């Protein structure tokens, strides 16, 4: 049989870990079944535990992590209103006539951005 068709062999580290050693118990995926943690009435007991990463009781899994709410910004108190966008830069200069300023940007063919300012006069008729 050519070398490419030979059956795969396990790496040496896996082969050695598969050897049973006296006094060491092998564990598998079935050992981590949370269904086995449930009490006799079928309910799982959930409660908040104060963060103490040093102490763990037998059979507990302790996960230590920084408090995600430590740097979180809280909502502002009271009523506050946010206006959508900036007000229009426009003013009346006479009856039925307004003067306005507008900023625009557009992409050019060479990949650069052109920024421009347009001044306009509007006449109502």
Residue pLDDT, tens place only, 81-101: 777 777 788 999 999 999 999
- % of the chain residues with pLDDT over 90: 21
Q: Which stretches of the chain score pLDDT less than 50?
A: none
> Quick one: tokens of 67?
């408090």
* pLDDT value for 72: 83
DSSP state of 9: -
Are 52 and 63 in contact, with CB atoms under 8 Å apart?
no
* pLDDT value for 12: 58
* pLDDT value for 125: 86
Name residue 113's beta-bridge partners.
Answer: 107
How far apart CA 116 and CA 118 sit, in angstroms, is 7
């Amino acid at each position: 049989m050519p070398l490419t068709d030979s059956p795969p062999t396990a790496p040496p580290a896996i082969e050695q870990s598969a050897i049973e050693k006296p006094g060491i118990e092998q564990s598998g995926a079935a050992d981590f079944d949370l269904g086995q943690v449930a009490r006799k009435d079928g309910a799982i007991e959930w409660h908040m535990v104060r963060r103490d990463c040093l102490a763990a009781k037998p059979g507990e899994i302790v996960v230590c992590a920084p408090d995600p709410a430590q740097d979180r910004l809280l909502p502002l108190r009271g009523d506050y209103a946010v206006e959508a966008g900036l007000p229009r830069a426009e003013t009346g200069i006479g009856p039925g006539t307004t003067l306005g300023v507008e900023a625009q940007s557009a992409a050019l063919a060479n990949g650069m951005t052109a920024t421009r300012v347009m001044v306009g006069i509007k006449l109502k008729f």
